[in-house]
Amino acid sequence: MDQVLRDEREMEALGETLGAKLRPGMVLALVGGLGAGKTRLAKGVARGAGYPGEVTSPTFSLVHEYRGGRLPLFHFDLYRLKSADELLSIGWDEFFDEPGVLIVEWADLFPELLPPTTYWLRFEVLPEGGRRLSGDLLLG
């Protein structure tokens, strides 16, 4: 997949489409700089998965759990972590035992902790505005 998105509304709409296709056990790895649209996509994913509440960046709490949709979502932000041990100390491995989906912002910081079946999505801010999203998660 390689798609140019003009604004936040389009990013959330794409996330909503992806969220409707999620299955338990999936891991979405979101990679891109600050302001690239990772959290905006996560908001749409949660809505597409049926979560009715507000979705915010877990930058300072490391993880937000969203329950109440058709499956639980665990939204991580690894930006502030300095080592893989820090992530493991919060019970990272236990989230894989849940019947939900992991959405991991800044996943490229600790790729060795992600399963081989992870779907990688890369965000790029375009000089002319908008964002390019590329990765191996197909919409078909």
pLDDT truncated to tens, each residue of the chain (140 aa)? 788 999 999 999 999 999 999 999 999 999 999 989 999 999 999 999 999 999 988 888 899 999 999 999 999 999 999 999 999 998 999 999 999 999 999 999 999 999 999 999 999 999 998 999 999 765 44
Contact 1, 136 (CB under 8 A): yes
For residues 79 and 105, the answer to whether their CB atoms sit within 8 Å is yes
Contact criterion met (CB below 8 Å) for 14 and 41: yes
pLDDT at 96: 93
Q: Whole-prediction pTM value?
A: 0.92
**Which domains does the chain carry?**
2-135 (3.40.50.300)
Give Cβ neighbours of residue 98 (< 8 Å, ≥ 6 apart): 72, 74
Query: In this predicted structure, what is the pLDDT of residue 86?
Result: 93
Q: Give the C-alpha separation, 83 to 86, whole Å.
A: 5
